With several copies, the nearest count.
Chain A
Amino acid sequence: MMALLKRDLAIATRSGGAAMLGVLFFLAVVAVIPFGIGPDLNLLARIGPAILWIGALLASLLGLDRLFQADREDGSLDLLLMQDWLALVATVFVKCLAHWLATGLPLVLAAPLLGLLMNMSALSTGAVMLTLLAGTPAISFIGAVGAAIAVALPRGGLLVSILILPLAIPVLIFGVSASYAAVTDPDPFWPPFMILSAIALFFAALGPVAAAAALKGASD
């Protein structure tokens, strides 16, 4: 399994930076919002966490469809599927992990910079980083289900996003509300953050199983 993680990371870094793309898109999203809002710094600071979260969610969608498709096209997927059930689930889990390390983690690391652009306070930025750290893995894990369903489709990109966006809504809701709770006083930060973490754990357990089932079913 470590071998798989190493291979996927090597491919991601070798051929043109998945990480960089996510961050760039993230930047682009965050950069155009001020055009809509106008230069009202207070408002920007207020909606900052929400924008960061939406940007991160959308940025994670890029390239998600290739998660299994690349392996299918060169025939690797067949060999990955020739494993018993538990090993297959573990394989999917590791692939999700590699995907998150290559695309999700850079988003988390880029968040402070964007927080600066949005005029957010240090506390608020920290809260967003923490929630992104807990929430983006969940997106990778749900994404795996969509990617597995669409593995056979040549133009899966959009379909994957459509299928998983509704499922990602709870992650978004609790991620944003935890970020807000950290800065607005009466609301406590931990309850929504715990729920977010619980959702992430839930998807980390469920996603690989569902994706493995879908992959088994799609083999032809």
Chain B
Amino acid sequence: MSDTTAPQGWFTSLANPTRFLALSGRVLPYLAAASAVTLLIGLYMSFAAPEDYQQGITVRIMFIHVPSAWLAMMCYSVMAVASIGTLVWRHPLADVAAKSALPIGAAFTFLSLLTGSLWGRPMWGTWWVWDARLTSVFVLFLMYLGLMALHKAMDDPARAARPAAVLTLVGFINIPIIKFSVEWWNTLHQPASVMRLDGPTIHPTLLYPLLVMAIAFTLIFFTLHFMAMRNEILRRRVSAMRRQAAQSIGSSEARP
């Protein structure tokens, strides 16, 4: 039995759903335009890039594969941060953020699995191997789906929020495993060549399109995430209003 009023402050007012709706409504068009433009530039650069002397044309898969793999991990990190928000500040918007990131993250993970698999066929001669990197990404995919199932199973979003946040945080341990699996274990998969402490080891003609694509994917992620959050907020409002209306009808008619 404790006082559970949310702390009032600039953070709270910033994360106020109404204000978020207004703010994101203004930002969204620009964000969407920026993602479209960057994506077009990135695609152009990807196709203009020279073919790899070893891998031939299949190297172009990289421009999709690597950014989506990065985004899959980033999206989970965003969710983990939001989960801390849910558990510590109990702010409803944090839960909205975590929940609406789920399908997007699952989609990026799927894309990275799919492109990796398509790439693996010519490079390794098989669609799938159970090495550490591939398996840990697969487990990430399962965790996205499991969390989605959890949300779907609870009819009341308020009740799903905290268990889902706990689970998201427990599962975060998988992210460093994905990142460092190539170094900790002997795997078929490429070791990191871009995000390294000693600078990228990849040729600039491939590096620049990759970076532009990564920026484009990030922008796309934020565009989609904002849109999904707006939908989720509106969805919760609609259901709240419907239930409200129903209850007032039910009780007022029954008791004049």
Contact = CB atoms under 8 A, between A and B. Distances in A.
A and B touch in the complex (CB under 8 A): yes
Contacts of B131: 39
A214 to B, nearest CB: 5
Contacts of A15: 153, 155
A163 B128 contact: no
A80 interface: no
A17 interface: yes
8 contacts: A15-B153, A17-B153, A20-B145, A24-B145, A35-B135, A41-B130, A148-B163, A152-B154
A87 interface: no
Contact of A167 (B130, B135, B159, B170): B170
A148 B163 CA distance: 9
Contact of A149 (B143, B150, B171): B150
Contacts, number: 85
A116 B142 contact: no
A220 B159 contact: yes
Contact of B162 (A21, A162, A217, A220): A217
B89 interface: no
Interface residues of B, number: 27
B139 A31 contact: yes
Contacts of B163: 148-149, 214, 217-218
Given A41-B126, A169-B139, 14 more contacts: A17-B152, A24-B142, A27-B145, A31-B135, A31-B138, A39-B129, A41-B130, A116-B127, A119-B128, A149-B163, A159-B153, A162-B145, A166-B139, A166-B143
A210 B146 contact: no
Interface in B148-185: 149-150, 152-155, 159, 162-163, 166-167, 170-171, 174
